[in-house]
Structure 1
Amino acid sequence: MAVLEVPADQIKVVAEFGNSDKLKPGEPVIAIGNPLGLTFSGSVTQGIISGLERAIPVDINQDGTPDWQAEVLQTDAAINPGNSGGALINIEGQVIGINSMKIAQSAVEGIGLSIPINYAAPIIEDLEKTGEVQRPFMGVELASVNEISAYHQENTLKLPKEINYGVAVRGVQPNSPAAQAGLQEYDVIVEMDGEEIRDVVDLRKHLYNKKKVGDDMQVKYYRNGQLEETIMKLGGETL
């Protein structure tokens, strides 16, 4: 995502942001974009909101394992290559989403996906104010316990037999927030701020959606079979 600066004297109308949290399935929407390039620039398609909070797995580090879930709006308004970045607009002319992708399979028709504007707005505000986006930072390398063999869960992580979930710490950066909070390699995080953490996706959603740089975060983890607790003061990293 980028924020562009243009001369104000060339702008006559500015689109207003709506509230994507208030959307309901069945609401009419309009998608604007440039499908297939400039030949069809400014194309407008119409449809409805087909679904809310659709979770789409995303492989951030390209290791073949999803480590994030993008929560998107589903619409049947036609979204084609070139539409990405275009506006999804409600009946009042407010921007309620940013067109992102579609599911392109022979057996699938009319499933377009859009980033809710309430997710995008904080990023836009950060870019406008500082020219960069900062996210909370722990300073750890992680792996979901459900991707680790039962042998290593028991013998390396030393987890109790009834614990088959959580996030294993594979490494801790020196002087990072995690290091200062006392976390070590092979600790297994199972709870943050009272919220159960079952895998890496849960951890990142809690960290990025509910915390800010400088916040304190309560972390519960297993070490050598014992449940322990610490408070971590989150740092920041620039994206």
Structure 2
Amino acid sequence: MEISPRRLLPTIAVLCAAGLVAGCSGASEDSSPWEQSRNSTRAVPPPQAVNDLQSDYETVIKNVLPSVVQIESGDSLGSGVVYDSKGHVITNAHVVGDGRSFLVTIATGEEPLTAKLVSSYPEQDLAVIKLDRIPTGLKPAKFGDASTVTVGQIVLAMGSPLGLSSSVTQGIVSGIGRTVTESAADGGTGATIGNMVQTSAAINPGNSGGALVNLDSEVIGIPTLAATDPGLGEAAAPGIGFAIPVSMVTTVADQIITTGKVTDSGRAALEITARTVLDDNYQPAGVAIVEVVPGGAADRAGLRAGDIITKIDSDEITTITSLAETLAPDKPGQEVVVGYLRDGKSRTTRVTLGEI
């Protein structure tokens, strides 16, 4: 399954369809009792639960949408979330791209404000920019707790899909703990990102960098990717989108704002340089170590250049991507069993993971 970032679509086509409606008047004098009953039923107010849910939606939108901005980076459009009262805005690294300066439109509809890049962290597809001028009434978003995110939870996605600023879609949390790899060919960073939140809320081009929000008006993730279906000509697979979890968002943003860069990624690594190798049928068959970092995780475990990694714990490793996806949920300091080939013979070793 290919994964595409949700950033830019240059033009928008809006299709409207008109339907033919007949028999929409109230009950006539000749209407049957059943018809009269059916028509009168339509006038009954919705159940209180529906009213309550609608009220919840409206409250969340009122609370959070002012914190969601539109970002112009060259010819690209994306979204961002106001992180603090100092004018820092969190977004996706693939939204800012190679840009250093940006135009940011806040929800109040003022003229676009200028902003500059603080730092980008493509490895997790996150970036922080800062407004050159802090407008009156700038409202930072409230960020939630990743540990409370559960499957089935109602969520709203806010951003600027297709350039339509301040747009809102709704859905649920469809899954947690997903590991996905961005398609660099479609404008992404090529990053493999672990612990993603899967959602059925629509994520379209331009939603990247916006807010995935719970009914407590808390940001629980940054919408970043939508799955594509090769069977549909790489069109987006409906109802399958992914957001970077709030725990990683705040970890990266706090470090960038404090030090100007990410100093502690929290992501595990074998601390090697490697490449995918092919078997006699030209099929991916493992990851060959090209170089080990002296004193790093692999080096301490006795791995060396020329070894071919084929397994991490029970997971088969055939490519660089599969290695990255397997390690994505792990943490530095965690111990794994690495299966590998050396001189054609199968071996295993225990590795205490290092950090990217």
TM-score (norm 1): 0.66
For 1:186, the aligned partner's letter is G
- State, as a whole percentage, how many aligned pairs show the same letter: 30
Counterpart for residue 94 of structure 2: none
Of 31, 35, 49, which aligns to 2:173?
49
- For the residues of structure 2 that align with 1:8 and 1:107, how far apart are their CA atoms? 37
Counterpart for residue 2 of structure 1: 127
Counterpart for residue 158 of structure 1: none
Return 72-81 or 134-143, whichever deviates more.
134-143
Counterpart for residue 177 of structure 1: 296
**Helix, strand or coil at the partner of 1:184:** coil
List aligned pairs for 1:1-239, cutoff 5 A.
Answer: 1-6=126-131, 10=136, 13-37=139-163, 40-58=164-182, 68=192, 71-103=195-227, 105=232, 108-134=237-263, 135=265, 136=269, 138-143=271-276, 148-149=278-279, 167-172=286-291, 175=294, 177=296, 180-181=299-300, 182-189=302-309, 195-199=313-317, 200-201=320-321, 203-205=323-325, 207=327, 209-212=329-332, 220=338, 221-224=340-343, 225=345, 227=347, 229=349, 234=354
**Helix, strand or coil at the partner of 1:109:** strand
**Helix, strand or coil at the partner of 2:274:** strand
Deviation at 1:172, TM superposition (A): 1.1
Deviation at 1:13, TM superposition (A): 3.7
Deviation at 1:9, TM superposition (A): 7.7
For 1:98, the aligned partner's letter is I
For 2:287, the aligned partner's letter is A
1:197–1:133: structure 2 CA closer, same or farther, 3 Å change rule?
A: farther
- For the residues of structure 1 that align with 2:240 and 2:213, how far apart are their CA atoms? 17
Unaligned runs of 5+ in 2: 1-125
Counterpart for residue 26 of structure 2: none
In 2, are the aligned partners of 1:177 and 1:235 still within 8 Å (CA)?
no
1:8–1:175: structure 2 CA closer, same or farther, 3 Å change rule?
A: same
In 1, are the aligned partners of 2:195 and 2:329 still within 8 Å (CA)?
no
Which protein has the larger Cα radius of gyration, Structure 1 or Structure 2? 2
Deviation at 1:93, TM superposition (A): 0.3
- For the residues of structure 2 that align with 1:188 and 1:204, how far apart are their CA atoms? 15
Deviation at 1:175, TM superposition (A): 4.5
For 1:35, the aligned partner's letter is P
- For the residues of structure 2 that align with 1:168 and 1:120, how far apart are their CA atoms? 30
1:232–1:20: structure 2 CA closer, same or farther, 3 Å change rule?
A: closer
Question: Could you give the per-residue CA deviations for residues 109-149 of structure 1, whole angstroms, max 9, x where no partner exists?
Answer: 33333222223332223212322225557132132xxx631
- For the residues of structure 1 that align with 2:242 and 2:316, how far apart are their CA atoms? 26
Question: Could you give the per-residue CA deviations for residues 71-126 of structure 1, whole angstroms, max 9, x where no partner exists?
Answer: 53332323221111100100000001111133465694333332222233322232
Deviation at 1:152, TM superposition (A): 9.6
- For the residues of structure 1 that align with 2:261 and 2:348, how far apart are their CA atoms? 36
